[in-house]
Amino acid sequence: MKILVLVKEVPDAAVAKSIGSDGTIDRSGEKALNPYDTHALEAAVVIKEGGADVSEIVAVTVGPDSASRTLQGAVSRGADRSIHLSDEGLAGSDVVATGYALAELIKRESPELVLLGQQSDDGGSYAVGSVVGEFLGQPALSQVVKLDLTGDVITAERQAEYGYDTVEVKLPAIISVGDAINEPRYPSLKAIMGAKKKPVEKLTLADAGIDAGKVGTAGSGVNCSDFQAPAQKSGGTIITDEDTAATVEQIVAWLDERKLV
């Protein structure tokens, strides 16, 4: 069984996010692997370690050239090789266009299972998995926190609108995992060094045979603009605990003022 894991490079969580002059997310500044995707990589490794016949784990990303270091970091978490689609023509892609490009990359590999993270840390829409599934004609499930594989059937559990659902899915399928599914392990130094030697397939739209008219601004059905700040709420009082007795006194005074104690 071949498993593809979709990973994304996002701005580091500590970096303030903003919109650039071109109306898209400003992607300068420190970058990191989307933290939610480490759970998808770990889930792939757990399936392999669990004794399933996994022939390879392949990390796949759509993103600028600079995402290659992040992709290598993803590989160090247990992938055998990686695929990186990078092309100017992808700029401005909405989630349907991004999902289309990912689906085209997946078609070239025909994996039995595709794993993703629960959301992108930078304005995630929890939607890429469902878009990919649709373009591949395969079922997609999101927010899965328990996953058991028996033969070619996955039993998945996830919290939905009314409580927990248990769903059986026959492979091939697309599964986005929730962050409670596992505790991702840190890669060993050996794995980090080893990742540099794993094969990377770097592709442009033309290399991958992707129709440039279906991605980028031209291929996107939605465009976002008119960014503006929301109505300002009066800010709260934020204090830092240095002397706990004094901190507690301030909290009690605040509660008391509002007749809450």
Partner 1 sequence: MANILVYALAHEGQINKNSKGAISKAAELAAELGGSADVVLVGTDVAGIGDQAGAVGASTVYTVDAPEGIAATAIDAIAALVDAKGYDYVLFGGGLLGFEIGAGLAARIGGGVTVEVTDIKVDGGKLVAERPIFGDTLLSYSHYKSKGIIVARTNAFEVKETGGTATVEAFDAPIGAAAGQVTLKVRGEQRGADVNIEDASILVTGGRGLGNAENFSVADALAAALGTGSAVAATRAVVDAGWFPYAGQIGQTGKSVAPKLYVGLGVSGAIQHKVGMQASENVLAINKDENAPIFEFADFGVVGDLHKIAPALTEAIKAKKG
Ligand X SMILES: Nc1ncnc2c1ncn2[C@@H]1O[C@H](COP(=O)(O)O)[C@@H](O)[C@H]1O
Interaxial angle between packed helices 95-109 and 128-136, expressed in degrees from 0 to 180 and rounded to the nearest 10: 50
Alpha-carbon gap, residue 155 to 140, rounded angstroms = 13
Residue 144 sits in the site that holds partner 1 (CB under 8 A): no
**From the list 36, 42, 73, 203, which residue makes contact with ligand X (rule: CB under 6 A)?**
36
**From the list 1, 32, 180, 212, which residue makes contact with partner 1 (rule: CB under 8 A)?**
180
The Cβ-side half-sphere exposure at 72, using a 13 Å CA radius, reads 13
Amino acid, single-letter form, for residue 167: V
Alpha-carbon gap, residue 62 to 66, rounded angstroms = 11
Q: What tokens does 219 get?
A: 């291929």
Q: Are strands 81-85 and 56-62 parallel, antiparallel or unpaired?
A: parallel
Question: Whose CA is closest to 31, among 76, 61, 69?
Answer: 69
Alpha-carbon gap, residue 248 to 239, rounded angstroms = 11
Residue 133 sits in the site that holds partner 1 (CB under 8 A): yes
**From the list 45, 58, 113, 116, which residue makes contact with ligand X (rule: CB under 6 A)?**
116
- Measured from the CB of residue 86, what is the shortest distance to ligand X in angstroms? 10
**From the list 12, 71, 96, 215, which residue makes contact with partner 1 (rule: CB under 8 A)?**
96
Q: State the binding string over 123-162 for ligand X (x if CB under 6 A, else -).
A: -xxxxxx---------------------------------
| Partner that binds at residue 226, options ligand FAD, partner 1, ligand X, none, CB closer than 5 to 8 Å by kind | partner 1
Q: Give the nearer residue to partner 1 in terms of CB position, either 5 or 135.
A: 135
Give CA 190 to chain center in angstroms: 25
Reduce the DSSP state of residue 44 to 3 states and report it: helix
Q: What tokens does 95 get?
A: 């989630």
Residue 112 sits in the site that holds partner 1 (CB under 8 A): no
Residue 91 sits in the site that holds partner 1 (CB under 8 A): no
Q: State the binding string over 203-242 for partner 1 (x if CB under 8 A, else -).
A: -----------------xxxxxxxxxxx--x--xxxxxx-
| Partner that binds at residue 37, options partner 1, ligand FAD, ligand X, none, CB closer than 5 to 8 Å by kind | ligand X
Q: E strand or H helix at 100, and its extent?
A: helix 95-109
- Measured from the CB of residue 241, what is the shortest distance to ligand FAD in angstroms? 10
Residues at the contact surface with ligand X, assessed by CB under 6 A: 6-8, 34, 36-37, 40, 60-63, 95, 98, 102, 116-117, 119-120, 124-129, 176
